[in-house]
Amino acid sequence: MTDIGYDGKVAIITGAGGGLGREHALLLASRGALVVVNDLGGAVDGTGSDKGAADRVVDEISAAGGVAVADMHSVATPEGGAAIVQSALDAFGRVDIVINNAGILRDKSFHNLTPDLLNAVIDVHLKGAFYVTQPAFVQMREQGYGRIVSTSSAAGLFGNFGQTNYGAAKMGLVGLTRVLAVEGAKHNIKANAIAPLALTRMTEDILAAFADKLEPAFISPLVAYLASEECAATGRVSSAGGGRIAEVFIGETAGFTDLALDPESVRDHWSEITTREGYTVPRHIGDETKLFMTALS
């Protein structure tokens, strides 16, 4: 088998001025991708900005013989997203890969959550992925090729205290990914999501004890595969950290059917409704609708 390479394909990597995004950028560039290193360069909570973050990663890529340009637009507005895609078109004439990685944290327990904590997090993680991916998707449809990788989180997939804003945004990215997989199917556009676990400035307070095991570089091989032409997977969610990769999937139990359903029959059959024996994993809404049709026929 040959090694995975990108043969001049153009990759936009958001939030690539540090942490995971920087590692993704270095790896893809080392294998021939032309990279737009996007980063606003602010603090973990999204305040401030610094063009130096993206510039430094571009310098690293150039020093290693790769090709990259810096972009410091924010993903969090439609204008910013369009400008990031325009940076790719101006520098390289096309866009083949979008890696939605930019992120911020504004943790607060739900009863204390305020609109500014909610809006900023939804704007960067969830709307930001829409704003960057949509103009790129238009190009991808026209050229009949695209790879989209969005960065979700176990906080949304499984739940974590103090992160309703972040968890909802991260689970929203799974919905975006699933629908893009459906809409992109006939244009050879694959959309997948990852849920990483790595020591970065975002997690240093909680993961410091595992510093040597959770290098951010462990996440990039998964991203590199999902961003490659060889990737056939679409609509998938993979969890990765410290060299371990696993799939996270949404399944549906065989279910219980009663045409005279009342609240008591729900109560009395709760274990049949929820038993995981014989579950299925629908690829899209059509597969799920078939489960109803089968049960009702």
Residues involved in catalysis: 166
- State the greatest distance between any 2 C-alpha atoms of the chain, in Å, as a whole number: 70
Contact 98, 151 (CB under 8 A): no
21, with CB counted inside 10 A (0-12, 13-18, 19+), is buried
Secondary element (H or E) of residue 20: helix 19-30
Side chain identity at 2, as an amino acid letter?
T
Contact 201, 43 (CB under 8 A): no
In the complex, least distance from residue 293 CB atom to ligand NAI, rounded to whole angstroms: 37
Contact 251, 223 (CB under 8 A): no
Note the Cα 136 to chain centre separation in Å.
15
Residues binding ligand NAI: what is the number (CB under 6 A)?
Answer: 33
What residues numbered 19-38 form the site for ligand NAI, per CB under 6 A?
Answer: 19-21, 38
**Residues sharing a CB contact under 8 Å with residue 296, sequence separation 6 or more, in sequence order:** 257
Contact 114, 108 (CB under 8 A): yes
* Beta carbon nearer to ligand NAI, 133 or 153: 153
The answer to whether residue 197 forms part of the interface with ligand NAI (CB under 6 A) is: yes
What residues numbered 118-177 form the site for ligand NAI, per CB under 6 A?
Answer: 124, 128, 151, 153
* Beta carbon nearer to ligand NAI, 44 or 273: 44
The answer to whether residue 42 forms part of the interface with ligand NAI (CB under 6 A) is: yes
The answer to whether residue 101 forms part of the interface with ligand NAI (CB under 6 A) is: yes
- CA 129/CA 210 separation, integer angstroms: 30
* Beta carbon nearer to ligand NAI, 117 or 197: 197
* Beta carbon nearer to ligand NAI, 46 or 146: 46
The answer to whether residue 44 forms part of the interface with ligand NAI (CB under 6 A) is: yes
The answer to whether residue 99 forms part of the interface with ligand NAI (CB under 6 A) is: no
The answer to whether residue 234 forms part of the interface with ligand NAI (CB under 6 A) is: no
Nearest residue to ligand NAI, using CB? Answer: 19
The answer to whether residue 14 forms part of the interface with ligand NAI (CB under 6 A) is: yes
Q: What is the DSSP letter of 2?
A: P
Contacting residue, 103, 146, 184, 235, with ligand NAI by CB under 6 A: 103
Residues that bind ligand NAI (CB under 6 A): 14-15, 17-21, 38-42, 44, 46, 53, 74-76, 101-104, 124, 128, 151, 153, 196-198, 200-203
